Amino acid sequence: MNVLVWLAEGTWAAATDAAARHAPAGARITLLHVVDPALAGEVAGAWTGLLGRGHHDPGPAVEAVAAAAERDLLAAAADRLGRPATPVARRGPAEREVVAACNELAADLLVVARDGDRSRVGPHSLGRQTRFVVDHAPCEVLLVWPAAPLVTEPPPLPHPPHLPHPPHPTVR
């Protein structure tokens, strides 16, 4: 069995713990982290907008910091998992890279942690990228909460407005 664990900032520990609990013994586990290179471009654009074009481009420094943080995250996840795993780092839009990795690695199970509104259950508990991955993954998906939601019941349905009874038909 091939198990792919998507590690994202803020939710990686929950995904790693779920993989440790649910991946069978002997499973090949891959720990995946994705950095979108557009992040460095956005920082450079904001930097230029704030300080003008004559200043040093922070893009390479942002990429270096992101790469170092990624190495640390992959190492921490491997330690937390406590069993052999292959770390994989990819670059590109996260949702596309995760689905592509599922295909390329012939994943049987993808472990993902919710990343949206954690205050209650419902569709908003998935962020845009996670929703895409859940909808397009070519394998089974184990979707876990990074922490217990604050509200575990959906909101009540709205009551329909009170409609008056139609008048009684008259007999002729």
pLDDT in tens, 84-121: 999 999 999 999 999 999 999 999 999 999 998 877 77
Structure tokens at 36: 């979108």
Burial of 109 from C-beta contacts in 10 A (0-12 / 13-18 / 19+): buried
Please provide the average confidence, as pLDDT, over all residues in the chain: 86
The pLDDT assigned to 18 comes to 97
| Predicted TM-score (pTM) of this structure | 0.78
| pLDDT beyond 90 at 74 | yes
The pLDDT assigned to 13 comes to 96
The amino acid at 83: R
Q: What angle, rounded to 10 degrees, do the helices at 59-81 and 38-51 form?
A: 140
The model's pLDDT over 20-41, given as tens digits with 9 standing for 90+, comes to 999 999 999 999 999 988 766 6
